[in-house]
Chains A and B, each alone.
Chain A
Amino acid sequence: MRRTLVILSPWALIVLLWYAIAFSGFVNPSLVPTPHAVAAKFWELANEGRLLRDIWISTQRVFLGVALGTLLAVPVGFVLGWYREIRGFIDPLINFFRALPPIALIPLVIVYFGIGEMAKVVILFYASFFAGVIVMYEGIAQISPIYVRVARTLGANDAEIFGKVIVPLTVPHMLTALRVALGVAWATLVASELIAAQQGLGALIQNASSFFQLDIIYVGIICIGFIALAMDVALRRVARRLVDWQDRIA
């Protein structure tokens, strides 16, 4: 009970602040829809079925982008983290591409991948991959060599070192990479849905902005935030189960 209150209080505070701004008179009321107006719009859109479809489509795109991005980020991050020599010359390359905002790549993505589903997933894949690969290799690079040494003195061969030492040490970093990639993918979603999307939360926001429907924009933004939050909480639960041997869960 107390815990629930503690968890809910910052949200209540934000809603209060929102009301305060809306009714303060400092801003034009037509520019700040009230929380209850946004809530009403949420129900309206949800009942139309449009919102659920948008959420479903966006979630699918994020999942696909994150799955493909992490699938590639794990082995690449592992190799970069484990082999210092390779990292030396690949590292600048990774940082170069990571610094490019996905939104700046949209024109090129349209040229090469068209305006279909593929283009959106490519953007999300790009964002997830570079976020995941960095987390992965930084984590792997910090693994202490003592465990490999100990295993060798106990008689482990190369396959055993990999399967019984390196893999278990890698799992926590894989989970962190997945979490970070998921966060970044949700953050990139609107950009990816700038590409001629008819459906999805990003498209909902884009369309609403052309008609100056601020309440719908708020609904879309809040949905993205809450879905990303829910996924992160779920993933953190799974991580705690899988790697409860760790001192600290990232």
Chain B
Amino acid sequence: MNTRISFDRVSVRFGALKVVEDVSFGIADREFVSIIGPSGCGKTTMMNIVAGFVQPSSGTVLLDGRPISGPGPERGVIFQEYGVFPWLTVEQNISFGLKLAANRVPDSERREICERYMRLMGLADFASAYPKTLSGGMRQRLAIARAYAVKPQFLLMDEPFGALDAQTRSNMQDLLLEVLAAERKTVMLITHSVEEAIYLSSKIIVVTARPSRIREVVEVPFGYPRDEAVHERPEFGALRSHIRDLVMQEYAAQQRQTVGSSI
């Protein structure tokens, strides 16, 4: 399998604050890699490097063998804060990317894509509504639809399902798996949910309290396509308790750090 994204001894410092330290890993074509760890530990920074918003202080990050110089439409990003455009309706938000010179499609195709994602995300009744009238969960689904619509080869997702209720969250996870089965994509997902990471990923990277180092890389033994039944497999339970232990230890470490620095 060829490596599409590679981190080689990457460190990031913001002034005196070390955020990421000596991180090396690769993401292969069509691989789904989740990054899990305490909040505020630098996971988003790792994603922002791939998205093209942050340069590593040392080490290299390569995308298809080339250094990353900035953002691009082949890397779809779903931000934690959604960033839906408040001045555009639901439909206009989804078609925003499809009207740009970089990925312009014919009008009929654009309408088709829009309608498809509005239907899939349960937004069809809100096509001409402005985001101010949508709930938090709907805004998040809108942000997801907008990113999917331009069919990026890579999906970089920063806790994309965080604000959703359990039922919608599970629907969105299944929808993501469906989209991935239909379109070839390589995914980097940042999450706090151990279940979500196992259910979706082919590989899980557990990172430490700040600065982010790799604690352990866990291969997920399930193939694709997957469905909810995976949750019932005995390996799932074992994997879950193993990863949960690692994550809890790091949460505790982060807690001590935070308390220590606030005293």
Contacts and interface: CB of A to CB of B under 8 A. Distances in A.
Contacts of B70: 152
B146 interface: yes
Interface stretch (B38-46, B77-85, B112-120): B77-85
Contact of A160 (B85, B101, B130): B101
Contacts of A151: 96
Interface residues of A, number: 22
B76 interface: yes
A144 B82 CA distance: 12
A135 B76 CA distance: 35
A115 interface: no
Given A151-B96, A153-B51, A156-B102, A247 B132 contact: yes
A246 B85 CA distance: 11
B5 to A, nearest CB: 15
A244 B77 CA distance: 28
A157 interface: yes
Interface in B66-99: 70-73, 75-77, 79, 81, 83, 85-88, 96-97
Contacts of A156: 100, 102
A165 interface: yes
A243 B73 contact: no
Interface in A126-163: 144, 146-147, 149-157, 160
A246 B132 CA distance: 7
A155 B79 contact: no
A100 B143 CA distance: 47
Interface in A231-250: 243-247
Given A150-B79, A245-B87, A155 B132 contact: no
B103 interface: yes
A214 interface: no
B85 A155 contact: no
Q: Chain A interface secondary structure, helix, strand, loop or mixed?
A: helix
A101 interface: no
Contact of B87 (A150, A160, A169): A169
Interface in A144-191: 144, 146-147, 149-157, 160, 164-165, 168-169
Contacts of B79: 146, 149-150
A153 B100 contact: no
A242 to B, nearest CB: 10
B96 A164 contact: yes
Contacts of B147: 153-154
A154 B96 contact: yes
B150 interface: yes
Interface string B37-73: 0000000000000011100000000000000001111
A157 B71 CA distance: 10
Given A245-B132, A247-B132, A155 B83 contact: no
Contacts of A146: 79, 81, 83
A149 B158 CA distance: 14
Nearest to B129: A245
Given A165-B85, A168-B87, A243-B87, A153 B132 contact: no
Contacts of A164: 96
Interface string B133-157: 0000000000100110010000000
A7 B51 CA distance: 54
Given A168-B87, A244-B130, A154 B101 contact: no
A228 B86 CA distance: 31
Contacts of B73: 153-155
A209 B242 CA distance: 88
B159 to A, nearest CB: 15
A156 B73 CA distance: 8
Contacts of B150: 154-155
Contact of A246 (B86, B88, B146): B86
Interface of B: 51-53, 70-73, 75-77, 79, 81, 83, 85-88, 96-97, 100-103, 130-132, 143, 146-147, 150
30 contacts: A146-B81, A147-B83, A147-B85, A149-B53, A150-B77, A150-B85, A152-B52, A152-B71, A153-B51, A153-B71, A153-B73, A153-B75, A153-B147, A154-B146, A154-B150, A155-B72, A155-B73, A155-B101, A156-B100, A156-B102, A157-B100, A160-B100, A168-B88, A169-B87, A244-B130, A245-B87, A245-B88, A245-B131, A246-B86, A247-B86
Given A156-B102, A157-B102, A245-B86, 16 more contacts: A150-B77, A152-B70, A152-B71, A153-B51, A153-B52, A154-B96, A154-B103, A154-B150, A155-B73, A155-B101, A155-B103, A156-B100, A160-B100, A165-B85, A244-B130, A245-B132
Interface of A: 144, 146-147, 149-157, 160, 164-165, 168-169, 243-247
